[in-house]
């Protein structure tokens, strides 16, 4: 007798292979068999006729580093079918925090992911952070990238200047230690201070360390607007120079005058003499700190210095001048679900709240999104957080991707015939697991794989989270199983928290 038997579902296994009707047996936390399992008995049988059975979604682009400590049930992620989250994206990491780091300054710098101000940060190393996370027992599996911001905060502080060769070596040492401890790779966020002050020599030095471990380097590019292609070219160049596998984060082109450049960016990726891929989420708006719109020099010295500077009318004039050719229109920038009135309101908000103001910015094209979604090198990542509408993380008006990314892909883009179900599932499961360099069966619905799997109703699946009312769970996610334990049962959270802190396979070359 096995633990769980899912009978008669339409199985899509995450490889891109055609869907087929089959039974799935789960026991001892693993998938035991897939096929015609008539005659097999189980402690629990789920009739899945007419429904989709697929691997759990591997969210390669998550910012739940702190959210999961506050919301270990991982409500907004697990309820859309995410069973693994890759933390630490966009350079916005929370470790390592060696003694010389000004932890308060780093916390302000990564304000975008600081969703629960009541949380303590008791860790120093990445291993310490992962211990804290494991003790919180999240419902989802996690992997962690090392953020470029903590590396720079530890070594160069918050000054607007490139690192010296000695400082590059010290950052490389910190990075290597975190990779030894099991980090999945490195991420940078070249719009976020102090990572935005890094030059290409620094990026190449860090990429070379990542390459030695065979891990991934995820890039929030310096510019997704007028400089998109230059920025993609830089990531490709660093990847080629270092041999580092590279993931371009949330590939998009912002600002109407840049529409159409995503196809050109994809051609640069294809032409790369290196393994370069990208992630994307299926929305026509992005989200980041409002302060990210400021020119880099305005962040010199960290958040308190930036806020003080914004009270100086001459500084405001310089920023207004820098904004003269901006790609965005103010009414397309929402704060708390409301369009901004103009630059004065934006500057006042940043001066008052620093990096703690999140914006949602429109200005993307559906054609660009479709080009990214259709490309085989592009996988899905939510760029969101695990939020709980009833807890401290349920405040404000965040981007709806934290609740609806994956159901939106299935309802809107598969539903309209833009992607096949097999390809969509591959982009959410097998492809991101492969990008991360996880073991062969990760992200697949195959005998022997960890039993992270979903039963979805494709007739009713839909994201119900909107830009004005984001804190809403999707419809159509019937059953979510993590490591063989049912977490979402008939659409409701069972309270189970069976996730594991995962580390990539240890393969180090010297
Ligand atoms: Zn991100």
CA of 92 to the centre of ligand 1 (A): 8
How high is the pLDDT of residue 325?
87
List pLDDT tens digits, range 433-459: 999 988 889 999 999 999 999 999 999
Residue ranges of the chain with per-residue pLDDT less than 70: 505-510
CA pair distance 395, 345, nearest whole angstrom: 21
Encode 80-111: b = buried (16+ Cβ within 10 Å), e = exposed: bbbbbbbbbbbbbbbbbbbeebebebbbbbbb
Q: In terms of Cα–Cα distance, which of 446, 459, 506 is closest to 55? A: 446
CA of 191 to the centre of ligand 1 (A): 11
CA of 61 to the centre of ligand 1 (A): 6
CA of 355 to the centre of ligand 1 (A): 15
How high is the pLDDT of residue 437?
87
Distances (CA, A) of 224 to 120, 227, 259, 344, 503: 34, 6, 11, 24, 31
CA of 27 to the centre of ligand 1 (A): 35
Find tokens 């962690």 and name the residue: 144
CA of 8 to the centre of ligand 1 (A): 38
CA of 220 to the centre of ligand 1 (A): 7
Cβ pair 12, 427 in contact under 8 A? no
Find the DSSP H helices in 225-326: 228-242, 261-271, 303-309, 313-322
CA of 288 to the centre of ligand 1 (A): 8
How high is the pLDDT of residue 439?
80
CA pair distance 377, 431, nearest whole angstrom: 9
CA of 329 to the centre of ligand 1 (A): 22
CA of 91 to the centre of ligand 1 (A): 8
How high is the pLDDT of residue 440?
81
Contacts 24+ apart (CB under 8 A), 72-75: 72/136, 72/137, 72/138, 72/139, 72/497, 73/139, 73/388, 73/493, 73/495, 73/497, 74/138, 74/139, 74/140, 74/386, 74/499, 75/386, 75/387, 75/388, 75/389, 75/473, 75/493
pTM of the model: 0.96
CA geometry: angle at 357 spanning 356 and 359, to 5°?
140
Q: For 204, list phi and psi in degrees, rounded to 5.
A: -70, -40
The distance from CA 352 to its chain's CA centroid, rounded to whole angstroms, is 28
CA of 148 to the centre of ligand 1 (A): 13
CA of 172 to the centre of ligand 1 (A): 22
Residues of the chain with CATH 2.30.40.10: 2-55+444-493
CA of 33 to the centre of ligand 1 (A): 36
Residues of the chain with CATH 3.20.20.140: 57-285+377-435
3-class DSSP state of 129 = helix
* CATH number attached to the domain at 2-55+444-493: 2.30.40.10
How high is the pLDDT of residue 506?
56
CA of 119 to the centre of ligand 1 (A): 21
CA of 89 to the centre of ligand 1 (A): 5
CA of 57 to the centre of ligand 1 (A): 17
CA of 384 to the centre of ligand 1 (A): 7
CA of 249 to the centre of ligand 1 (A): 7
3-class DSSP state of 423 = helix
Among left, alpha and beta (phi > 0; psi -120 to 50; other), residue 347 is: alpha
How high is the pLDDT of residue 503?
87
How high is the pLDDT of residue 508?
54
Q: Does domain 57-285+377-435 have CATH number 3.40.50.1820?
A: no
CB proximity list for 364: less than 8 A, separation 6 or greater: 252, 253, 254, 259, 283, 284, 285, 286
């Amino acid at each position: 007798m096995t633990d769980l038997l899912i009978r008669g579902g339409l199985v899509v296994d995450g490889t891109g292979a055609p869907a087929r009707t089959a039974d799935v047996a789960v026991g001892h936390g693993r998938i035991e068999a897939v096929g015609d399992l008539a005659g097999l008995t189980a402690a629990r049988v789920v009739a899945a006729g007419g429904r989709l059975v697929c691997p759990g979604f591997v969210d390669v682009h998550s910012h739940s580093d702190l959210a999961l400590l506050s919301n270990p049930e991982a409500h907004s992620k697990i309820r859309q079918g995410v069973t693994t989250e890759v933390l630490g994206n966009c350079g916005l990491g929370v470790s390592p925090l060696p003694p010389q780091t000004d932890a308060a300054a780093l916390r302000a710098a990564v304000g975008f992911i600081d969703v629960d101000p009541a949380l303590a940060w008791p860790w120093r190393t990445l291993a310490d952070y992962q211990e804290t996370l494991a003790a919180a027992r999240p419902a989802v599996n996690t992997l962690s990238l090392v953020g470029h911001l903590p590396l720079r905060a530890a070594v160069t502080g918050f000054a607007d200047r490139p690192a010296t060769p000695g400082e590059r070596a010290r950052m490389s040492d910190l990075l290597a230690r975190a990779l030894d401890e099991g980090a999945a790779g490195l991420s940078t966020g070249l719009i976020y201070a102090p990572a935005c002050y890094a030059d290409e020599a620094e990026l190449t030095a860090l990429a070379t360390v990542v390459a030695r471990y065979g891990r991934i380097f995820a890039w929030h590019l310096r510019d997704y607007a007028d400089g998109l292609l230059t920025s993609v070219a830089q990531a490709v160049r660093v990847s080629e120079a270092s041999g580092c596998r590279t993931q371009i984060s949330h590939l998009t082109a912002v600002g109407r005058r840049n529409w159409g450049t995503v196809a050109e960016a994809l051609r640069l990726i294809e032409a790369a003499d290196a393994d370069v891929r990208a992630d994307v989420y299926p929305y026509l708006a992005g989200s980041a700190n409002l302060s990210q719109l400021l020119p880099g020099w305005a962040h010199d010295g960290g958040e308190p210095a930036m806020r003080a500077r914004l009270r100086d009318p001459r500084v405001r004039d310089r920023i207004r001048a820098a904004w003269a050719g901006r790609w965005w229109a103010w009414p397309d920038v929402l704060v708390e679900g409301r369009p901004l009135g103009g630059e004065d309101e934006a500057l006042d908000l940043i001066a008052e709240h620093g990096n703690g103001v999140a914006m949602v910015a429109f200005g993307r094209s559906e054609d660009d999104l479709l080009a990214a979604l259709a490309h085989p090198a592009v996988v899905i990542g939510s760029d969101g957080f695990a939020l709980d509408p009833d807890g401290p993380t349920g405040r404000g008006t965040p981007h709806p991707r934290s609740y609806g990314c994956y159901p939106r892909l299935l309802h809107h883009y598969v539903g309209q015939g833009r992607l096949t179900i097999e390809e969509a599932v591959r982009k959410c499961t097998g492809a991101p697991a492969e990008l991360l360099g996880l073991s062969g069966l990760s992200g697949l619905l195959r005998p022997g794989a960890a039993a992270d799997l979903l039963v979805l109703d494709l007739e009713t699946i839909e994201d119900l989270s909107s830009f004005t009312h984001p804190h809403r769970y999707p419809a159509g996610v019937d059953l979510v199983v993590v490591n063989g334990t049912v977490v979402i049962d008939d659409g409701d959270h069972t309270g189970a928290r069976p996730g594991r802190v995962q580390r990539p396979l240890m393969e180090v070359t010297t």
